[in-house]
Amino acid sequence: MYNVERVKSGLLTERDLETLVAFWQAAHGLQADGRCGPVTTVSVRKISGGVSLPQARWPLPKLRDGRLPTITSGHAAQNPERPNHFGVDIFYLYNPAKDPPEPAADHHREGRWFVPAGMSARAFGPGKVVIAGDAPTGHRVWIDHGGGLFSGYFHLRTLAVAVGQEVLTATPLGEVGDSPTGPDGRHLHFELYIGNLNEYPHGTIDPQPVLATTDVADE
């Protein structure tokens, strides 16, 4: 509203605003047309961790005993030891008194973290599946949520969706597995992306501040 008043008063012209928007777009790898469309709007919101999606939920649910999914390894932006880690790894705290015995290979960090066998990754929000298939790190799924926002799910053992399929929030996408190329046990690697997915990983963003303000669905 401050800028609107500046435009009305003649202190700031519409051309000035277009120039400022174009400058932002060019600095963030977007098409510098000076128009604040959906992709530009989302790119502005992400700076403050404000990327949001109506009805969004964590990609893993709360367990029946109340345990919440937990990020154990962060995005490269705050994880300098993993410069190519373009998302977050999600586990649950293992409780030997409640959980069945698990082989060491299905644990993370000396048995402290795990994902229950048969657990499915869930859609972060409504959208369309644009990628669903095999990868060196296991099956993966990408969902287009519109407005230039995508979510990615990696290390799946099975697939429950196909390319072109419309999904709702919390739709099961496939059973969580592990990565054949890494030492971690069963877990979900989750990513958020803004922009043209064909330019991956150019538009990757840190999911952690987004998930910090996102609800967790029940199992």
Query: 62-83, pLDDT tens digit by residue?
Result: 999 999 999 999 888 888 888 8
Record the tokens describing residue 84, joined without a space. Answer: 């190519």
Q: What's the structural domain count of the chain?
A: 2
Same-domain pairing of 32 and 135: no
Give the CB-side neighbour count of residue 218, counting CA atoms within 13 A: 2
pLDDT of residue 102: 82
Q: Is it the case that residue 187 has pLDDT exceeding 90?
A: yes
pLDDT of residue 183: 72
Please indicate, yes or no, if residue 165 is contained in any of the structural domains.
yes
Q: Is it the case that residue 3 has pLDDT exceeding 80?
A: no
Please indicate, yes or no, if residue 49 is contained in any of the structural domains.
no
Q: Is it the case that residue 214 has pLDDT exceeding 80?
A: yes
**Arithmetic mean of pLDDT over the chain:** 85
Which domain does 22 fall in, by range?
2-36
Cβ atoms of 57 and 122 closer than 8 Å: yes
Within 8 A by CB and 6+ apart from 107, the residues are: 94, 113, 114, 185
Please indicate, yes or no, if residue 191 is contained in any of the structural domains.
yes
Question: 16 vs 94, which has greater pLDDT?
Answer: 94
Same-domain pairing of 107 and 32: no
Question: 141 vs 212, which has greater pLDDT?
Answer: 141
Write the pLDDT tens digit of every residue in 20-47: 777 767 766 667 788 776 567 666 655 4
Please indicate, yes or no, if residue 44 is contained in any of the structural domains.
no
Write the pLDDT tens digit of every residue in 112-168: 999 999 999 999 999 999 999 999 889 999 999 988 899 999 999 999 999 999 999
Give the CB-side neighbour count of residue 168, counting CA atoms within 13 A: 1
